[in-house]
Structures are given as C-alpha cells and as structure tokens.
Structure 1
Amino acid sequence: MNIGLAILLIVLALAGGTFLGAFLVRKQIEKDFAENPRLNVDAVRAMMSSMGQKPSEAKVQQVYRQIKASQKEATKKK
C-alpha cells in the first residue's frame, strides 16, 4: 500500500470520528437538557419571590411544568 494513501485514510478516519463524536455528544446533551431542565423548582420559587410574588406551591409547580413543556417542544421543532 502506498504510504500517501495510508496517511490519507488515517486523516479521513480521524476527521470522520471527530465529526461523528461531536454529533453524538450534541444529541446526548440536548436529550439531557430536555429531561432535566436547568431551572428546578427552587429556582422558580426564588425567581417568583424576587419579582415580589408570594409563591404558592401550586403556582410554582404550574410554572415549572410550563417551562419543562416549552423546552420539550423547542427540542422537537429542531
């Protein structure tokens, strides 16, 4: 086998592996963010308190579910 061909195949395999790995990592991160949003119930409660609202547990859960649903919808549209 020609040495130039061997080097070309190694470079192509390295580039292909890099792009495939980046694609798979991106998909995994998107899946993790969809299942576990960055905002949690405590963050929503703190956000509502900072806006001057007295957060009831029902309102906190409602806002949290809305945030989680909107994130799922956004990932489905991509």
Structure 2
Amino acid sequence: MSTGLAITLIIVALIVGAVGGFFISRQYMMKYLKENPPINEDMLRMMMTQMGRKPSEKQVRQVMSQMNKATDKPEKKKK
C-alpha cells in the first residue's frame, strides 16, 4: 500500500468518525432533553416566587405551555 493511499484513508476515516460522532451525540442530547426537561412546574413556581410573584396555577400552566411550544417548534420544522 502506498503512503499516499494510507494517508488519504486515515483522513477520510477521521472525517467520517467526526461527522458520525457529531450526529450520534446530537441525537443522544435531544433524546436526553426530551426525557428530562431542564425545567418543570415546581422549578417554575420556585423561580416566580424568588422573583417576588405569587404564581397562580393558570400562570404556571401558561408559561409551561409556551415553553413546550417553543421547544417543539424546531422539531416540527425538520419533519
């Protein structure tokens, strides 16, 4: 095997590995964030209380629905 062919194969393998690793890690993180959302209703209530607001159940649900719409919107565009 010539040296040029070996170097070319190594470079191609590195590029394929980097691209594959990027997409695998991206898919893993999207799945993880979907299963474990970064904020839930209890955390939202705590944040609103710390800001000096007494959140009603309607306010909490409204903010959560807005956040869910914002996170679901990019996924729907791709499909």
Matching residue's letter, 1:43 = M
For each residue in 1:27-57, what CA deviation from the matched residue of structure 2 results, as whole angstroms up to 9, or x when unmatched?
3323433443312222210222133322234
Total equivalences in the alignment = 78
Aligned AA for 1:27? Q
1:68 aligns with 2:77: no
The equivalent residue for 1:32 is 32
Q: Which stretch of structure 1 is more off in the superposition, 65-74 or 55-64?
A: 55-64
Give, as a single letter, the amino acid of the residue that structure 1 aligns with 2:41: V
Determine if contact 1:34/1:71 at 8 Å carries over to the other structure: no
How high is the TM-score relative to the length of structure 1?
0.70
Query: How far apart are the structure 1 equivalents of 2:59 and 2:35?
Result: 21
Q: Say if 1:41 and 1:60, in contact at 8 Å, map to a contact too.
A: yes
Query: Matches of residues 53-64 of structure 1 in structure 2 within 5 Å?
Result: 53-64=53-64
TM-score of the two chains, using structure 2 as the length reference: 0.69
Displacement, 1:58? 4.4
CA distance in 2, matches of 1:15, 1:73: 31
| Structure 1 runs not aligned, ≥5 long | none
